[in-house]
């Protein structure tokens, strides 16, 4: 507590400022909890193995945009986020994939995927730089939805281990591409190009959300 000249006590000011994205994230979480949309199926070969797992992230625009956005956002944030975000996303996505293969219930999967594209793109467009913990928490939640969607559609006849290896490698490659794009576009014109790309990604998320 701080004593002012008037003799009144004033609470100390916290150095952390409330993020302008807090209402947006709260709305996204609320929408996920209130809406129950079934997961849309992607085509997976019945003999799915490494090659199918590797190809799968590259054939789904929704997943590809989200993974690209993670790399761009990490590069835009800078510091440890350049590698912690792209490393954490596929790790948590693997957990979501296991949950999907096990048939555990998870509501609003496709909605969560669409919101991930929208929120990640909007974060890039706003050049939002939250704490590393907050950023990791956000991408971890979205990674669960992406992983679950892929795990739930994996045929029983598939080789889940090799499929997962191929999937994680392809995901990592998309993240690396996103990092490169983010580093390349974050410097010219004070990052306007990176932010514009983030805006386009966010619009893609809106398109998936409405579709």
- Alpha helix ranges (H) inside the chain: 22-34, 50-59, 61-77, 81-101, 109-125, 132-152, 160-185, 192-210
Mode of pairing for the β-strands spanning 2-3 and 9-10: antiparallel
Using one digit for the tens of pLDDT, what is the confidence trace for 25-41? Answer: 444 444 444 334 433 44
Distance CA 127, CA 113 (A): 21
31, 140 contact by CB (below 8 A): no
Distance CA 79, CA 185 (A): 16
Number of other CB atoms surrounding residue 41 within 10 Å: 10
Taking the model in full, what pTM does it have?
A: 0.76
Indicate the range of 42-56, 62-76, 96-110 predicted with least confidence. Answer: 42-56
Using one digit for the tens of pLDDT, what is the confidence trace for 83-136? Answer: 999 999 999 998 998 898 888 999 889 999 999 999 999 999 999 999 999 999
């Amino acid at each position: 507590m701080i004593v002012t000249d008037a003799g009144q006590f004033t609470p100390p000011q916290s150095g952390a400022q409330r993020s302008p994205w807090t209402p947006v994230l709260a709305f996204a979480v609320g929408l996920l909890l209130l809406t129950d949309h079934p997961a849309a199926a992607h085509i997976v070969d019945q003999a799915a193995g490494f090659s199918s797992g590797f190809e799968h992230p590259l054939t789904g625009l929704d997943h590809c945009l989200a993974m690209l956005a993670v790399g761009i956002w990490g590069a835009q944030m800078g510091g440890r986020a350049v590698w912690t975000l792209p490393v954490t996303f596929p790790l948590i996505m693997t957990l979501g994939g296991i949950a999907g293969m096990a048939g555990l219930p998870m509501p609003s999967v496709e909605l969560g995927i669409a919101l991930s594209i929208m929120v990640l793109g909007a974060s890039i467009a706003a050049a939002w730089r939250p704490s590393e913990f907050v950023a990791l928490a956000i991408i971890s939640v979205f990674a669960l939805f992406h992983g679950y969607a892929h795990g739930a559609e994996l045929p029983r006849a598939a080789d889940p281990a090799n499929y997962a290896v191929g999937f994680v490698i392809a995901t990592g490659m998309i993240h690396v591409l996103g990092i490169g794009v983010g580093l390349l576009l974050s410097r010219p014109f004070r990052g306007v190009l990176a932010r514009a790309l983030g805006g386009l990604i966010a619009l893609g998320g809106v398109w998936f959300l409405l579709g």
